Amino acid sequence: MRPTILRPAQAGSLESSDCLVTVSPGEPGSGVKVNIQSIVMNQFGDEIRATVEKAVAETNVTDILIDVNDRGAVDFVLRARVLTAIDRALGKEEGR
């Protein structure tokens, strides 16, 4: 059984070199929807999207809406923010 997003959640900040990731439950059957705003969208938009989609795939979550507001975060920061936001939305305890 695939995990289900229970509630909206976020991780990160709008500080320089960070990103704010917000996840919300999607409509049943809608799949993974990713909206990205980034100061480096022209240069790295494809890489940002690929990093987000790969992180989501690791969780087996479907039917999720992800909003990314990027301020130049490197890929491992972006991945960590996505995974943390999803964990929070799934109701997992902090530190697990």
Domain ranges of the chain: 9-89
Q: What is the CATH number of domain 9-89?
A: 3.30.230.10
For residue 96, pLDDT over 70 is answered with no
Of 18, 38, 32, 50, nearest to 86 by C-alpha is 32
CB atoms under 10 Å from CB of 81, counted, come to 24
Q: What is the pLDDT of residues 46-74, one digit of tens each?
A: 999 999 999 999 999 989 999 999 999 99
Contacts of 28 (CB under 8 A, 6+ apart): 63
53 φ/ψ sector (left φ>0, alpha ψ -120 to 50, else beta): alpha
For residue 4, pLDDT over 60 is answered with yes
Q: What is the pLDDT of residues 13-57, one digit of tens each?
A: 999 999 999 999 999 999 999 999 999 999 999 999 999 999 999
For residue 11, pLDDT over 70 is answered with yes
